[in-house]
């Protein structure tokens, strides 16, 4: 008898945990973001003020970059998150796959007030960031002048880090191979163009350390594991401003992109989620993030609200716009999946 009781107790205890885990209060908003300095900034700029204003409690989760988990949640109808921050390519993929809710912009903000390409069917822009090159001047005596210098192993020998993802890398590879920025996506849409990009990447493949989380590039530079790395500008600026790291950012040939936020299908609290989206899409709130991490607003009318000392560090500051490329969301929506596949096969070889 006692044994059975013990066993029953074990199961009861286990099920009790489950129920605790599933208790969600009505005015609780569960947001999954991708962690690190960016999530810290969102907390200060948006989570906490929103919480104060509405009384809603924000539960933060961390996204480990695996859409698989979100898909599994949606597939099984057990969606414990109300909002998830994602990249543009993921928004398109998730939209097609039916993982993300189609947004009703009447509940958020006028769609035409957003920068072009930052208000998508299934995701609304949070900020604009730049894919840049970063290095430590104590290690590299000669300063690189363009992101494309990452392909120059004779002038800059040593390991370099790039993101474990085809987007940006293929564009830079083509530009380094002499394709004009305006033609990059045209060339990349052809099989020959893809081959050409991979061939260019081949020339530095053995020198590349791959990163997949945004917090890694500053880490790799700090431990001197690499001499230069591609990075999201805010993460590097953050290491410079907050940790006193001696890093430098190379803006020339940066690629401009938008961070997005989306509602997964079957989210338990869509009304509050829309309330949050509306809140952060107000121009003065949208501009607030720049004070905590150097990412620019996505509202066309928000620039005047950005704190003046943050302005020159933003990716779309005039000084940083001498040569740049705007990431083509639609291209990556169409070709992304095949290119990711090809890229992963290439990595494995």
Q: Which residues of this protein are in contact with another protein, per CB under 8 A? A: 1-3, 6-7, 9-11, 13-15, 17-18, 21-22, 32, 35-36, 60-62, 64-69, 71-73, 75-76, 78, 80, 96-98, 159, 164, 208-210, 212-213, 215-216, 219, 223-225, 334-335, 337-338, 340-342, 344-349
Pick between residue 146 and residue 329 the one whose CB is nearest to another protein: 329
- Closest distance to another protein from the beta carbon of 135 (Å): 15
Beta-strand ranges (E) seen in 156-262 are 160-163, 208-211, 228-232, 248-262
- Closest distance to another protein from the beta carbon of 215 (Å): 4
- Could you give the CA distance from residue 252 to residue 61 in angstroms, rounded to a whole number? 35
- Could you give the CA distance from residue 134 to residue 161 in angstroms, rounded to a whole number? 10
- Closest distance to another protein from the beta carbon of 323 (Å): 29
Pick between residue 46 and residue 211 the one whose CB is nearest to another protein: 211
- Closest distance to another protein from the beta carbon of 222 (Å): 8
Three-class HEC string of 98-149: CCECCCCHHHCCCHHHECCCCECCCCEEEEEEEEEEEECCCCCCCCCCCHHH
Pick between residue 2 and residue 141 the one whose CB is nearest to another protein: 2
Pick between residue 250 and residue 339 the one whose CB is nearest to another protein: 339
What number of CA atoms fall less than 13 Å from residue 77's CA on the CB side?
Answer: 0
Pick between residue 42 and residue 316 the one whose CB is nearest to another protein: 42
* Closest to 303 in 3D by CA, of 322, 278, 276, 284: 284
- Closest distance to another protein from the beta carbon of 3 (Å): 7
Pick between residue 95 and residue 310 the one whose CB is nearest to another protein: 95
Beta-strand ranges (E) seen in the chain are 28-33, 57-62, 83-87, 124-135, 160-163, 208-211, 228-232, 248-262, 324-326
Pick between residue 69 and residue 248 the one whose CB is nearest to another protein: 69
- Closest distance to another protein from the beta carbon of 149 (Å): 20
Contact 257, 10 (CB under 8 A): no
Contact 83, 60 (CB under 8 A): no
- Closest distance to another protein from the beta carbon of 52 (Å): 19
Contact 128, 296 (CB under 8 A): yes
């Amino acid at each position: 008898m006692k044994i059975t009781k013990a066993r029953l107790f074990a199961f009861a205890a286990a099920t009790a945990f489950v129920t605790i885990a599933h208790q969600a209060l009505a005015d609780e908003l569960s947001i999954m973001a991708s962690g690190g300095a960016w999530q810290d900034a969102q907390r200060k700029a948006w989570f906490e003020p929103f919480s104060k204003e509405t009384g809603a409690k924000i539960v933060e989760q961390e996204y480990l970059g695996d859409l698989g988990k979100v898909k599994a949640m949606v597939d099984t109808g057990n969606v414990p998150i109300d909002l998830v921050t994602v990249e543009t390519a993921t928004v398109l993929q998730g939209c097609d796959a039916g993982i993300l809710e189609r947004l009703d912009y009447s509940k958020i903000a006028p769609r035409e007030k957003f920068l072009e390409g930052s208000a998508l069917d299934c995701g609304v822009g949070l900020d604009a960031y730049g894919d840049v090159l970063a290095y430590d001047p104590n290690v590299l005596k000669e300063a690189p002048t363009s992101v494309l210098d990452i392909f120059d192993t004779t002038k800059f020998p040593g390991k370099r880090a790039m993101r474990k993802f085809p987007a940006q890398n293929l564009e830079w590879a083509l530009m380094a191979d002499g394709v004009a920025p305006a033609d990059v996506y045209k060339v990349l849409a052809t099989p020959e163009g893809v081959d050409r990009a991979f061939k260019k990447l081949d020339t530095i493949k053995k020198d590349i350390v791959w990163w997949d989380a945004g917090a890694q590039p500053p880490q790799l530079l700090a431990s001197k594991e690499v001499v230069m790395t591609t990075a999201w500008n805010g993460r590097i600026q953050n290491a410079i401003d907050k940790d006193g790291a001696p890093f430098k950012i190379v803006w020339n040939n940066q690629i401009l992109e938008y961070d997005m936020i989306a509602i997964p299908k079957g989210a338990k609290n869509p009304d509050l989620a829309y309330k949050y989206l509306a809140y952060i899409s107000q121009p003065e709130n949208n501009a607030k993030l720049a004070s905590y991490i150097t990412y620019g607003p996505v509202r066309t009318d928000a620039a005047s609200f950005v704190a003046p000392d943050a302005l020159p560090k933003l990716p779309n500051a005039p000084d940083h716009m001498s040569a740049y490329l705007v990431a083509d969301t639609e291209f990556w929506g169409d070709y992304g999946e095949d290119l990711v596949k090809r890229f992963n096969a290439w990595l494995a070889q």
